[in-house]
Amino acid sequence: MQRRRRSDKFVEPFVVTAEDGTRFRCSVSALGRETEPRWVLLGSDGVQYLGPPVESDKSQAAVERLIRDWWAATKL
């Protein structure tokens, strides 16, 4: 099992509300081997989504913007 580097900031799950009112419970997951971490989103509809790759800025505002932009592009 690979350990997080000390410089990695651990992100607690939190909720983001998209422009259309969809709410997502967001957490970080590295799926499989040699893959970049991605946001895993549990929608208010009970469906789990594999969201965008995690970026270096993990502030609440940056993540909300990333998830909202991803959802707007995905739901089209």
Mean pLDDT rounded to a whole number for the chain: 84
Please give the pLDDT value at position 31: 72
Please give the pLDDT value at position 2: 47
Residue 4 — very low, low, confident or very high, per pLDDT cuts 50/70/90? very low
How far apart are alpha carbons 67 and 52 in whole angstroms? 7
20, 25, 28, 32: CA torsion to nearest 10: -90
Domain boundaries, the chain: 14-74
Verdict on whether the full-model pTM lies above 0.95: no
